[in-house]
Structure 1
Amino acid sequence: MTLFSDPAAVSGYAERTAKIVPGLRDLHRMAGVLLAEHAPADARILVLGAGGGMELKAIAEMQPGWHFDGIDPSARMLDLARMTLGSLMPRVRLHEGYIDSAPKAPFDGAVCLLTLHFLPPVERLQTLKQIFMRLKPGASLVVAHHSFPIGGAAGDRWLARNAAFAAASGVPAVQAEGSMAIKERLPVLSPEQDADLLREAGFTDIVLFYCAFTFKGWVARRS
């Protein structure tokens, strides 16, 4: 993931991501709403893939009593998160690394946005199991990432729609059309496979709450 170590790419991350992920800022607020259904007023929340800090900032502003542990493998992206969070940083602890770098203490909820599609199935399942182990019983997990049928014309149709959305949002045409290569660059799974992995990791009450072209999002609970 050299993209997240390139200074120019990191500095433009928030603006670029908002142009290619439909309803990105609404997705952050929806995640906060879903976590709050089962998290207390003084919750401790785990955020995996926290670099950039956008979801951390949105949820922290919604819930002034919550504290957060954010995990990301990119030091540059964590620096961007610190800048994004500003005065909210006293409620956030950032950790460089992967899920193994997350504290073991039980969390009242977890969120993982635009991250799991980078992981092949075996690693994705292990990551979900590690998140599961860190949650209190009844706590919610919110995930969202690329998830669409890969084979045949259906997947290409959704990728073309993604590219059209990016172009309509102001992404240069060449870059927008480059999103058609997602199926070669990322180990994307179908929505059915993603739900199955959540189930295999131990989660229950798995519900699709977000569907935006190639992006899907689920909320699930630790039983």
Structure 2
Amino acid sequence: MDYDAAPPMPVADYRRVQMMIPGAEALYSCLRAVMDVSLPTGAEVLIVGAGGGREIEALAPSDKAYRLTGVDPSGDMLSVARDYVASTDATDRTVLVKGTVNDLEHGLRFDAATSMLVMHFFPDDGTKLDYLRAIRRRLRPGAPYVHADVSAADRAMFARLSPVVEAHGGLVGLPPEVAGAPGRHIGQMAFDGPKALVVPERRTLELFEEAGFRPVAPIFRSLWYAAWWAEAV
């Protein structure tokens, strides 16, 4: 799939769409806190889906001076991350790669990884599991992994929450066409069977374990959005 020709969202809307997540700043603060507690200074962190730069923005200022490698299949989104990195003192310890985890140099291993709001774009027909296994293969045993995703028990829960998410978007100042866009997009996704894009928490935890991760704890929940801390086994 060409993520520049057919992006999941317009690049210009990236920050505005993230405003749909109530407590988005808390989500990224939780990511930073897990890493700061778990990792030594200079740890190598893999950021999957790094386009937009939000994870880099959260981790680069840490006193731990992490060495960051970000991958994203969208060159347009990576340009946003690259512009942010250029404004920081982290340019010499940040590498951005257009592609997927499988495109990274063979043999690279990391001390930690993140995947923030990426996996719900993949069906549960083995693609989600392959995605997680690819990340796991790049990690050292015991490495922390922070994963955030759209998560709902079923379509009925999603339907009940959708107008709340849209109302929240209005409260934070988004115009109606933007506040309603995520619900329209996610509402077209499958919730059941092998083509399911949105899966419940129990399925996410099953996928973690199948891929070689040990769930540690949920660290964030806000309407449709959830995040977990796991470790590579």
TM-score normalised by L of structure 2: 0.87
The 8 Å contact of residues 49 and 70 in structure 1, kept in 2 or not, is answered as yes
The 8 Å contact of residues 36 and 62 in structure 2, kept in 1 or not, is answered as no
Distance in structure 2 (CA, Å) of the matches to 1:64 and 1:139? 16
Deviations 1:22-52 (Å, cap 9, x if unpaired)?
Answer: 2222212211111233221110000000001
Which of 180, 188, 203 is equivalent to 2:183?
Answer: 180
Distance in structure 2 (CA, Å) of the matches to 1:118 and 1:96? 18
One-letter code aligned to 2:213 = F
Which of 119, 124, 146 is equivalent to 2:122?
Answer: 119
Name the one with the larger helix percent: 1
Name the one with the larger strand percent: 1
The 8 Å contact of residues 18 and 25 in structure 1, kept in 2 or not, is answered as no
Counterpart secondary structure, 2:111: strand
Deviations 1:87-117 (Å, cap 9, x if unpaired)?
Answer: 3222111111112123432111001101111
TM-score normalised by L of structure 1: 0.90
One-letter code aligned to 1:35 = M
Q: Structure 1 runs of 4+ off > 4 angstroms?
A: 1-8
Matched, 1:209 2:219: yes
Structure 1 range deviating more: 71-80 or 157-166: 157-166
Residue matched to 1:23: 23
Distance in structure 1 (CA, Å) of the matches to 2:180 and 2:29? 29
Which of 179, 193, 197 is equivalent to 2:207?
Answer: 197
One-letter code aligned to 2:94 = V
Identity %: 28
Q: CA deviation at 1:222?
A: 1.0
One-letter code aligned to 2:101 = I
For structure 1, the residue ranges without an aligned partner over 5 or more in a row are: none
The 8 Å contact of residues 40 and 64 in structure 2, kept in 1 or not, is answered as no
Residue matched to 1:10: 11
Against the structure 1 CA distance between its residues 115 and 4, is the aligned structure 2 distance closer, same or farther, given a 3 Å change threshold? farther
Aligned residues: 221
Structure 1 range deviating more: 68-77 or 96-105: 96-105
Cα RMSD after superposing both structures: 2.2
